[in-house]
Structure 1
């Protein structure tokens, strides 16, 4: 890592101009990446990380984007000064990029083979058999099992981890000198995340390439980066070797990031507390139909005989990888999908109730979803979103009474009531999740299903939301079913933990026992991956 840097960003600024107003997203930043080095660009949402990465390849929309100052030198040549023809020789050849969400980056209408072959054809002139053989070699290199069977698959037919491996294969197709990885593991389960990080580190060493790794998760940085640049509000506030940043952070913001993870523990479980929700042998089987007459030939056993009790003032955490049946179980308990088995809410069997009979109970059973931006109507103001449930379940309330309830619940979740006439797009991700929580809490429920409510948020915002949920639970004696693949959040909130895999429970018990003395290899692999103790053993967890 000696000699002239491979990439040198010098005094770079990025501005956006809209409606006559100019805002600065990146403000005079500088950093270098040496040959064979991994540099992590770390910061929370809105800090300017991704804008910096996109600027390297001039992938921003020009206009409204512009560069008031700076140079981006790659092998001594200023990329910002190159025209489109000059950039095409660099993009995809010498510098490649992988993005956070592979499902939106891959073409849903083309097979995996078509998408990789297209790159080989455009950049290397490969055709037919040669391109196919190179595609198979790339898929093997990134750890895709039975690649011959995957060539004809479409993106939606692959798991999240497999899709990200395909993206990595596409990025490595032309043996680049620099790989830019923009939050490549954020949308993945912890075990798959650990596998992808191990894969990237191995490929980097094997191919001798450099890497710019963008993330908000400092746990990942410790595992993969040689040096760290900490970014906030468009500026790099601290840079240095990874070890120094973690052991002796100099800037207050760096210390804030290092401390920003869910802390504390839930109050001790009270075994005498009232049981709010009970599931006995809950099953959700989806039929597999084939043939002209669409006969049922088998079933996908999404939830296969689950027993669960959730008590007032306590939290049951449900963990497992994508596809394990966590969300399906929660939806079944809330009677959002059909299921078999017994479901009792405060002692009453609700699994036999009709839609009409369930309606009065809906206010007692509330859900907070993973993506607040997707679950909040963009056409409604915050006030309209929160009071919608009141108009349905408490039609006798006057407009003033509803507004008073909205103001009270916004104060309770830590939002300024004066903002209630704004729309969801005017709020940050953490604020939108608080709005979603307020929408659930305004009806004063007894049972709340929280489906990955923190996974789309920055670490510091995650910690704030966890503290809020814990305070609301203590105040209102709420029963939570908390679904997540993030074991750090589960440890901070849950009294009991259920570990699910392939629709079944593989381990169930008090949270302290699950975390301190896990009994199964699968649980140990999840905990190992979540807390970065070591990489999950090969073959322990499959995608």
Structure 2
């Protein structure tokens, strides 16, 4: 008799995935095979567009059928071929036996429902809990994944949480029913290094407790090395190499694998720049969100997202903003761009802009652009890439010809490493990394002087990440661009920033020239943050202080 423990929990055999459009069919995944045992963690790694997420979505039959098809292969879960399973059976499997954490939580969470409602719904539907019991369990789950003060967050909506906090909510929902297999598609992409470590430890603890298997999709090879048991390296829809993590990292056979591991944003130690004109200034800036409770929704307190920050950014410089998820990094950037309300003077290009109306701000919008953290939510699914990139030109340059618009769009796409022949496709036809490059092209096409970059490389694999960092450097040098660069990836920040501020709980903990702060951090919080990011390895500017 076959030992059930010896049979893989999930067995993927010769799986191919094809997409049909305009009468043509193209392979996104080409005859891949791998097994996952109970309690094992398998990582799928590779460039954006290599087929990692498509492979994972196939396991739960979540691809856009019938546009997607499987010309070959089988997916055996506990001996059942899921590709042949009827939809009724798949509904029983999804959420109970197999759960998934998607790459971008903002498109997965319902913007009209509170966090508490969404976590409780999973427990009510799949576990049959009462509303009261589900809410109590939801608080426990949110606390377990590190959401601060979870009870007060039950009534919050997704847009009121940071990207990292939304991702933690998604993880709580996925783990609610203690699945046999968890598919984690870039689950730590939006998380800072300290929370990333907490989440990975949490997943490991739950894995040991419940014998849960994990299919882990990521472009962060540092995470793979610490977290996975085995790794499959994908390229152009194929698995080019697979094996135990230690063997692949220490003795990679394929050239592509070696290139993938060697790719990293190269640190650049730049001489102190001459003092240029101030592009963006803020003094004692505050963004407080009211906490309302009770039947009459009275204000009982405030979330001090930004609490008295003073900064100045010079022309041609990059100011890096780092800190944990929820520290106020993105809120600060949005306030500076006048995209959310704030208190305190803001001066852009020598002109006060705090208090200006929509009409008065419009001419300044062309000069200040933003690349958002979420390329899924910021790109309209109803517009082609060409229309998305050209939209700003229609607003700010309404009189240029259609040929000139197309030329500028083409140039912008080439600049960010995209094939301009794909400009008439739609966002859903691109990988997460490719969509982020579209978002960067949309900002660059207007030739602004100031750009807020909110985690612009978080969705990118290491090879493309290094290319984007080089691109941003080149564009800054050619056009004297000024960047406000927000990121939890300190290696990327060290490769770009001239100056840096470290934020915690809406306040500046430490600030100064990037070289000094990275090499000689003064505050304990900064030292802990750097130690988590670089794992006590040499940083771009030397080893962090003990």
Same fold (TM over 0.5): yes
**Contact 1:171–1:179 under 8 Å retained in 2:** no
Alignment-derived partner of residue 354 in structure 2? 351
Distance 1:485 1:89 in 2: 37
**CA 1:353/1:469 → structure 2, altered by over 3 Å: closer, same or farther?**
same
- Quote the offset at 1:49 in angstroms: 2.3
2:125 to 114, 118, 131: 118
- Is the alpha carbon distance of 1:296 and 1:196 closer, same or farther for their aligned partners in structure 2, counting shifts above 3 Å? closer
Paired residue for 2:166? 160
The answer (yes or no) to whether the contact 2:500–2:511 under 8 Å persists in 1 is: yes
Tell me if 1:186 matches 2:189: yes
1:170 aligned onto 2:176: yes
Partner of 1:540: none
CA distance in 1, matches of 2:228, 2:130: 37
For 1:448 and 1:413, locate their aligned partners in 2 and report how far apart those are by CA, in whole Å: 15
Unaligned runs of 5+ in 1: 535-543
Task: Number of aligned residue pairs: give it.
Answer: 526
Q: Is residue 264 from structure 1 mapped to residue 267 from structure 2 by the alignment?
A: yes
Q: 2:337 aligns with which of 334, 346, 351?
A: 334
- The SS at the match of 1:482 is strand
Equivalent position SS for 2:345 = strand
| Match of residue 540 from structure 2 | none
Contact 1:40 1:213 in 2 (8 A): yes
1:316 to 312, 319, 338: 319
Q: Map 1:187-266 to 2 at 5 A.
A: 187-265=190-268
Match of 2:541 in 1: none
Change (3 A) 1:120 1:139: farther
Q: Which residue of 2 aligns with 1:305?
A: 308
Q: Please provide the CA RMSD for this pair.
A: 4.0
Contact 2:105/2:167, CA 8 A, preserved across alignment: no
Could you tell me how far apart the structure 2 residues matched to 1:424 and 1:135 are?
A: 33
Aligned 8 A contact 1:97 1:179 in 2: yes
Report 1:325-474 matches (<5 A).
Answer: 325-351=328-354, 355-372=358-375, 374-376=377-379, 389=392, 413=416, 430=433, 432-474=435-477
| Residue 502 of structure 2 corresponds to residue 499 of structure 1 | yes
Unaligned 5+ runs, structure 2: 538-546
Shift of 1:217: 1.9
| Structure 1 residue 50 corresponds to structure 2 residue 53 | yes
CA pair 234-359 structure 1, distance change in 2 beyond 3 A? closer
Change (3 A) 1:90 1:389: closer
**Relative to 1, partners in 2 of residues 1:205 and 1:423: Cα closer, same or farther, differing over 3 Å?**
closer
Could you tell me whether the CA contact under 8 Å between 2:366 and 2:396 is conserved in 1?
yes
- The alpha-carbon deviation at position 254 of structure 1 amounts to 1.5
State the Cα distance separating 1:243 from its structure 2 match: 1.0
Normalising by structure 1, report the TM-score.
0.81
Distance 2:83 2:425 in 1: 38
Distance 1:92 1:269, change over 3 A: same
Q: d(CA) in 2 for partners of 1:342 and 1:131?
A: 45
Seen in structure 2, the aligned counterparts of structure 1 residues 357 and 18 have a Cα distance that, compared at 3 Å, is closer
| More off after superposition, 480-489 vs 108-117 | 108-117
Match of 2:344, SS? strand
Residues 457-485 of structure 1: per-residue CA shift (max 9 Å, x gap): 33322222211110011112222111222
Contact 1:112 1:155 in 2 (8 A): no
C-alpha change, 1:289 and 1:154, in structure 2 (3 Å) is closer
Aligned residues of 1:103 and 1:163 also touching (Cα < 8 A): no
- Cα distance in 2, alignment partners of residues 45 and 182 from structure 1: 12
Counterparts in 2 of 1:267 and 1:337: CA distance versus 1, 3 Å: same
Residues 142 and 168 of structure 1 are in contact (CA less than 8 Å); yes or no, is this contact kept in structure 2? no
